[in-house]
Structure 1
Amino acid sequence: MTQRKTAAVLLIGDELLSGRTRDINLQNIAGFLAPIGIQVAEARIVSDDESAIVDAVNALRAAYDYVFTTGGIGPTHDDITADCVAKAFDDPIGVRDDALAIIRERYEQTGVELTEARMRMARIPDSASLIKNPVSGAPGFQLGNVFVMAGVPSIARAMLEDVGPRLEGGEVIKSANLRAKGMREGDVAAHLGKVAEEHPGTSIGSYPWYGGPKDSGVNIVVRSADETALDAAMQAVAKMITDAGFEPVAGD
């Protein structure tokens, strides 16, 4: 029987907590993992603080099958993720020849000077394996079940292509949804709770939308690894919406 596989995403950076930078890495990572049967079960945002990063890495890697970190592996003083992950695993870290060779080649191709600051991006824990970075060259790395990637979304997404073959997938969660225009959550709250109770093999969520006085309603989403259970729950949701006097419409 296929087992459930879970992951956590650790988003690192003061710029995220300050609101200056909007994160889309969580969405990209979750979207990449879902089709191979790995469900993101937790996400955290921590500042560029050593103890916060180390504590989060240790907590998450013990709780989930995989951990994905983004941010903090660049050339500046506040890029401390690599050192923090090395500390979490009690693994030595320094400039690695294999990582430095990749970075040096990239800078030679672009005619950019390889400064001491840029060499910091070749600091990789001794026991880690590199993650390819086809966008800017500087690699990420894998240490145990932790994958350390860049914070720039285009780079992090490109790195996932090298990470994918290393992952063991599990059960794939399927989803379906029905939209009911004009319906309010209060119209069906009690009935929806009963539907969820009667279909324990599914996860059912209610999400209202507000697009103006004449464009509002509720979107009911059903998720399950069991397609038969999913279909049965969807039929029950459709009947509930109809009985409430609204028209169920299949959503995207």
Structure 2
Amino acid sequence: MSESVSEPAAAECPTGAAVSVPVTACVLIIGNEILSGRTQDVNLAYLAKTLNEVGIRVMEARVIRDDERAIVDAVNACRVVYDYVFTTGGIGPTHDDITSACIARAFGVPIVRDPEAERLMRVHYGGVGLNAARLKMADVPQGSSLIENPVSSAPGFQIGNVIVLAGVPRILQAMVDGLKGRLRGGETVLSRTVSAFTTESAIAAGLSAVQDRYPQVEIGSYPFARSGRFGTSLVSRSTDADALAAAVDDILALLQGMGVDPIRDDAPSAA
């Protein structure tokens, strides 16, 4: 795969019909504070949901310590496998914010002061408090394009298919919202959820048969407890709306055949 991301390709299936190739992504969550348990990550859920809405499927996520070799190795391993690699964290002003330098090393380019990034930060701080540590956030790998940060001005950046974002959730979300127009996605994955007061073991065999009939639909079962009762949520996901509807109909029929009424049947949504 080249380092620049092209439009999603269309492969040929055995019958000769074109099949959309999924656009894939990996998320690298960078920070010792995540691994220590001091900080709970909330960025992955937001990224996965938002990317799915534009037709990009998160296929893998890793949590990486603040270590140069670990970051470089993870970036280089993932950028040749997935269409996009998103990193979160490690682009702040302190000594342990090493993500930008690590991305530069992964691509074999120098880290440079970006004039536009510096200008934005000078405007934001108005000449007050703009010290060397903060100016470090204007340093990006040579050849990068900036990602706007409307919250605190210090930008993220993209180089090749690697997109580098802040770790602060509010800033990351603002960056991602501004990115949507330049991300190239494939078909949106649709999701429907059917929940019922029944156990996973009671429906396992029947659910397996439904999955076998609809290989293009991902079906997951997730137990829950509510008001002292145990139940199961059955989540079906697919880019094929007709197959999704048929699979859900079979799940509803399975439950009805067991004498179980669903307590929730969501309309299709991106998820």
TM-score normalised to the size of structure 1? 0.95
Paired residue type of 2:254: M
Whether contact under 8 Å (1:37, 1:171) holds in the other structure is: yes
Residue-by-residue CA offset, 1:197-247 (whole Å, 9 max, x unaligned): 11111110000102352x320000111111110011001101111122211
Q: Distance in 2 between matches of 1:200 and 1:31?
A: 23
What is aligned with 1:240? 254
What is aligned with 1:121? 137
Residue-by-residue CA offset, 1:149-169 (whole Å, 9 max, x unaligned): 100011001001232122111
Q: Distance in 2 between matches of 1:199 and 1:249?
A: 23
Q: Distance in 2 between matches of 1:3 and 1:31?
A: 19
The unaligned stretches of length 5 or more in structure 1 are none
Q: 1:133 Cα shift?
A: 0.2
Whether contact under 8 Å (1:6, 1:40) holds in the other structure is: yes
Aligned residues with identical type, % of pairs: 50
Residue-by-residue CA offset, 1:107-165 (whole Å, 9 max, x unaligned): 10xx6311111111111111000000000000110000111010001100100123212
Whether contact under 8 Å (1:99, 1:124) holds in the other structure is: no
Paired residue type of 2:27: V
The unaligned stretches of length 5 or more in structure 2 are 1-17, 267-271
Q: SS in structure 1 opposite 2:219?
A: strand
Q: SS in structure 2 opposite 1:31?
A: helix
Q: Distance in 2 between matches of 1:16 and 1:184?
A: 34
Q: Distance in 1 between matches of 2:100 and 2:265?
A: 42
Matched, 1:188 2:206: no
Q: 1:4 Cα shift?
A: 1.1
Whether contact under 8 Å (1:25, 1:156) holds in the other structure is: yes
Q: SS in structure 2 opposite 1:26?
A: helix
TM-score normalised to the size of structure 2? 0.88
Alignment coverage as a number of residue pairs: 248
For 1:211, which of 194, 202, 226 is the aligned residue?
226
Matched, 1:53 2:71: yes
What stretches of structure 1 move > 2 A for 4+ residues in a row?
249-252
Q: 1:60 Cα shift?
A: 1.1
Considering fraction of residues, name the structure with more helix.
Answer: 1
State the Cα RMSD in Å. 1.2
Q: SS in structure 1 opposite 2:252?
A: helix
Q: Distance in 1 between matches of 2:142 and 2:103?
A: 12
Q: SS in structure 2 opposite 1:63?
A: coil
